[in-house]
């Protein structure tokens, strides 16, 4: 569809481009309708990262496809491409450079075997460069030189660190590089390899034609001819700036990388899990405390799976990762560390995570303490989780953090948690709240905070005085800052304890 060519001067997808995309997605949706959603992953790349109206268009696109669509960052796209190419290599290579030229971006990765060391995504693609330097499709030596210069200027911003890293083997993938390799093969120069000499020979052949549509004579497909002048210029610039002598061509690219990633998730080898714990190490997160919070948050989630989170995939994982990373902002400063944490999670490159998933994590971490709800309207627009579900996840994380505020193991704490629509009830062990008055005070304040978010927090405690065998029940609710206590039982000792607690 070449959506990159469908952006107007304000970086909005034009109605024509949108309609073309919707029709294509509907045809895919018909093929996919009988396949479980867990076996499908759809990703959107550079055009959706650039489009100012992507969030308005995405729901329509997802409805046409029948499945969620994830917008992935440039570096995540590069990582997936690298993984794909590595799987396709017939032999292990100590150091390699992988290049992918798309319609709106170029991904460059250096690494060893399956481990990417340097990952970059440039706003440089065959559609954009062709549109700017060959707008009417006319080809000339002067236009080609200008296009090559534009590409070299873009690559120059990152080429030095790649040269310092070094590599033994260069591999190219995706349509543009495969098309260039195919034209070289048709000229009888090389098979499956691009080298400097064959690239220069192809350049001279391209310049013999006056219009891009004539390039079909070189073996380019009709749809590829429209963007190959810019695509060739990028390949030429990469060879020049990286001093490449020879580039092998891989049949594997982003599509296969997404498939391998999905297989890993299905087999409990999720790259996102690794990313979360790498952030824990990098930002010196107190992992022992984070796991306490994670455990109780997930316990409350599981107790209310069918009432609050039924048929909402991935939310349990997102709550789990948010609990582990909720204190990531402490390294910046304690003051407003929840906001710093949200910022870090929104803008950090997180391997395996889509932009929407990062936005969801940022919302949860940014809302885990102090006054709530927090105004995260821009993040909420990016998140793929419905507002109602986001609010519920925030409630569970806030309660989990509150209950472990002493930062010590609470082996005597087991909580019954029951949620319905806009209310949540916590049930504590006998006399537990009597022994932890500060936690009870926190819960009372949290009732007020959650009421502002239209959540009714109720606390039910089962207490028993010494020598009594029959438990006494106390139900505490708040409404408009009034505390109402209902006591069932007649023990004077029990009543005295309650009055003392609420004096």
The arithmetic mean of pLDDT across residues 106-120, rounded, is: 90
Rg over CA atoms, the chain: 29
Quote the pLDDT of residue 92: 66
Task: Look at residue 486 and tell me whether its pLDDT is greater than 60.
Answer: no
Tokens 């009597």 appear where? 434
Query: Is cis: bond before 252, omega within 30 of 0?
Result: no
Contact between 7 and 48 under an 8 Å Cβ cutoff? The reply is no
Task: Look at residue 488 and tell me whether its pLDDT is greater than 60.
Answer: no
Contact between 168 and 94 under an 8 Å Cβ cutoff? The reply is yes
Quote the pLDDT of residue 372: 73
Quote the pLDDT of residue 283: 93
The arithmetic mean of pLDDT across residues 405-422, rounded, is: 88
- Rounded to whole angstroms, the Cα distance separating 44 from 32 reads 17
Quote the pLDDT of residue 154: 95
Among 476, 116, 113, 97, CA closest to 274: 116
Residue-wise pLDDT for 86-99, tens only, equals 887 766 667 899 99
Q: Cα–chain-centroid distance for residue 370?
A: 26
Residue-wise pLDDT for 219-248, tens only, equals 888 888 989 999 999 999 999 999 999 999
Tokens of 401: 């953090």
Question: Over the chain, what is the mean pLDDT?
Answer: 86
Higher-confidence residue: 490 or 438?
A: 438
Q: pLDDT tier at 483 (50, 70, 90 boundaries)? A: very low
Quote the pLDDT of residue 91: 61
The fourth-level CATH superfamily of domain 74-259 is Exopolyphosphatase. Domain 2 (3.30.420.150)
Phi, psi of 492 (to 5 degrees): -65, -40
Task: Look at residue 11 and tell me whether its pLDDT is greater than 50.
Answer: yes
Cβ contacts of 18 within 8 Å, gap of 6 or more: 6, 57, 60
Residue-wise pLDDT for 35-56, tens only, equals 988 888 999 988 888 888 888 8
What kind of fold does domain 3-71 have according to CATH? Nucleotidyltransferase; domain 5 (3.30.420)
The arithmetic mean of pLDDT across residues 392-409, rounded, is: 93
Domain 3-71 shares a fold with domain 74-259: yes
pTM of the model: 0.73
- Rounded to whole angstroms, the Cα distance separating 455 from 449 reads 9
Contact between 189 and 199 under an 8 Å Cβ cutoff? The reply is no
**DSSP secondary structure string, 138-191?**
B--HHHHHHHHHHHHHHHHTTHHHHHHH--SEEEEEHHHHHHHHHHHHHTTS-S
Q: pLDDT tier at 499 (50, 70, 90 boundaries)? A: very low
Task: Look at residue 450 and tell me whether its pLDDT is greater than 70.
Answer: yes
Under the phi-then-psi rule, with left for phi > 0, alpha for psi from -120 to 50, and beta for the rest, what region is 220? beta
Cβ contacts of 75 within 8 Å, gap of 6 or more: 119, 120, 121, 349, 351
Beta strand 416-420 with 42-44: parallel, antiparallel or unpaired?
A: unpaired
Query: CATH for 270-403, among 1.10.287.1080, 1.10.3720.10, 3.10.450.50, 1.10.3210.10?
Result: 1.10.3210.10
Tokens of 190: 């090389």
- Rounded to whole angstroms, the Cα distance separating 321 from 446 reads 23
Q: What is the DSSP letter of 211?
A: B
Quote the pLDDT of residue 90: 60
The arithmetic mean of pLDDT across residues 137-165, rounded, is: 95
Higher-confidence residue: 398 or 269?
A: 398
Residue-wise pLDDT for 301-310, tens only, equals 999 998 899 8
Quote the pLDDT of residue 3: 80
Task: Look at residue 489 and tell me whether its pLDDT is greater than 90.
Answer: no
Cβ contacts of 479 within 8 Å, gap of 6 or more: none
Task: Look at residue 466 and tell me whether its pLDDT is greater than 70.
Answer: no
Alpha-carbon dihedral 404, 408, 410, 411, rounded to 10 degrees = 140
Return the domain boundaries, the chain. 3-71, 74-259, 270-403, 416-501
Q: pLDDT tier at 355 (50, 70, 90 boundaries)? A: confident
Higher-confidence residue: 314 or 246?
A: 246
Looking at the DSSP bridge assignments, the partners of residue 462 are: 473
Contact between 426 and 415 under an 8 Å Cβ cutoff? The reply is yes
């Amino acid at each position: 569809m070449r959506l990159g060519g469908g952006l107007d001067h304000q970086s909005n997808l034009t109605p024509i481009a949108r309609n073309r995309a919707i029709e294509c997605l509907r045809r895919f949706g018909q093929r996919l309708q009988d396949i479980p959603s867990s076996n499908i992953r759809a990703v959107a790349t550079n055009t959706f990262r650039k489009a100012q109206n992507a969030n308005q268009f995405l729901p329509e696109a997802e409805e046409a496809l029948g499945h969620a669509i994830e917008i992935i960052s440039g570096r995540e796209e590069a990582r997936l491409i690298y993984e794909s190419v590595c799987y396709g290599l017939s032999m292990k290579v100590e150091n390699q450079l992988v290049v992918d030229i798309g319609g709106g971006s170029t991904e460059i990765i250096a690494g060893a075997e399956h481990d990417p060391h340097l990952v970059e995504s440039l706003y440089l693609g065959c559609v954009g460069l062709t549109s700017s330097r060959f707008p009417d499709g006319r080809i000339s030596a002067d236009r080609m030189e200008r296009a090559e210069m534009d590409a070299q200027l873009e690559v120059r911003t990152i080429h030095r660190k790649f040269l310092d890293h070094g590599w033994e083997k260069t591999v190219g993938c995706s349509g543009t590089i495969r098309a260039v390799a195919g034209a070289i093969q048709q000229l009888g120069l090389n098979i499956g390899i691009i080298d400097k000499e064959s690239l220069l020979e192809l350049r001279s052949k391209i310049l013999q034609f006056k219009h891009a549509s004539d390039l079909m004579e070189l073996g380019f497909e009709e749809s590829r001819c429209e963007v190959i002048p810019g695509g060739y210029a990028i390949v030429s610039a990469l060879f020049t700036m990286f001093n490449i002598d020879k580039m092998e061509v891989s049949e594997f690219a982003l599509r296969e990388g997404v498939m391998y990633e999905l297989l890993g998730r299905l087999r409990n080898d999720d790259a996102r899990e690794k990313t979360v714990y790498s952030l824990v190490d990098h930002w010196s997160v107190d992992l022992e405390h984070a796991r306490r919070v994670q455990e109780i948050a997930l316990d409350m989630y599981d107790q209310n799976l069918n009432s609050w989170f039924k048929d909402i995939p991935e939310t349990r994982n997102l709550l789990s990762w948010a609990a582990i990373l909720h204190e990531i902002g402490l390294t910046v400063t304690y003051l407003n560390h929840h906001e710093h944490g949200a910022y870090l999670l929104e803008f950090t490159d997180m391997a395996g995570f889509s932009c929407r998933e990062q936005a969801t994590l940022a919302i949860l971490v940014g809302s885990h303490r102090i006054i709530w709800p927090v105004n995260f309207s821009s993040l909420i627009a990016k998140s793929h989780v419905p507002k109602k579900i986001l609010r519920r996840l925030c409630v569970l994380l806030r309660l989990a953090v509150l209950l472990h505020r002493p930062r010590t193991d609470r082996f005597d704490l087991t909580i019954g948690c029951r949620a319905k629509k806009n209310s949540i009830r916590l049930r504590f062990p006998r006399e537990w709240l009597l022994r932890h008055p500060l936690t009870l005070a926190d819960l009372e304040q949290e009732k007020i905070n959650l009421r502002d978010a239209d959540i009714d927090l109720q606390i039910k405690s089962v207490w028993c005085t010494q020598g009594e065998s029959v438990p006494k029940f106390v139900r505490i609710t708040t409404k408009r800052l009034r505390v109402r206590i209902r006591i069932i039982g007649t023990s004077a000792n029990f009543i005295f304890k309650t009055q003392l607690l609420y004096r």
